[in-house]
Structure 1
Amino acid sequence: MEKPKPDDRSNNPERIENTIGHTLQNMDEARDFEKAHSEEMSEEEKQQIEAKNQRREESIEGMRQEIKDEVNDQKK
């Protein structure tokens, strides 16, 4: 039976930064899509995109806090 791998958190801040970058890119793409197709979209579809971007923004804030926590933990 294989031993479980030890929990390696040394690259967590970098991984979280990458996730933030991808999330920001998704937000930009959603805004660009909305701008390009706004005349063809219903108000509900526009609101859904805006709501999703709001949730993404909230996630980014949480991830930024998580980075701070990880960096503080690594300093100990």
Structure 2
Amino acid sequence: MNSQQANTAHSLYALYETLPNEVQQAFLEELLQKKPQQLEDLGLYLACKQAKDENEFLNDQEAQAFIQSLPQ
């Protein structure tokens, strides 16, 4: 993301923050209804990025245990 995009995103969020709580809630509900996959993907991306930045990846044994614990 370039600096202009980051500034635009920040400005949009600042605008969102000025909205009444009811409007914020309605906006979030509509966003979840219309863009659920993008929000889920972004949440996963950010969680992975944070884990990488904090060097908190699973070791091989932990990864295998996690994979085996998943429902089939």
Q: TM-score range by the shorter chain?
A: 0.3 to 0.5
Provide the TM-score with structure 2 as the length reference: 0.34
Higher relative contact order, chain-length normalized (CA < 8 Å, sep 6+): 1
TM-score by length of 1: 0.32
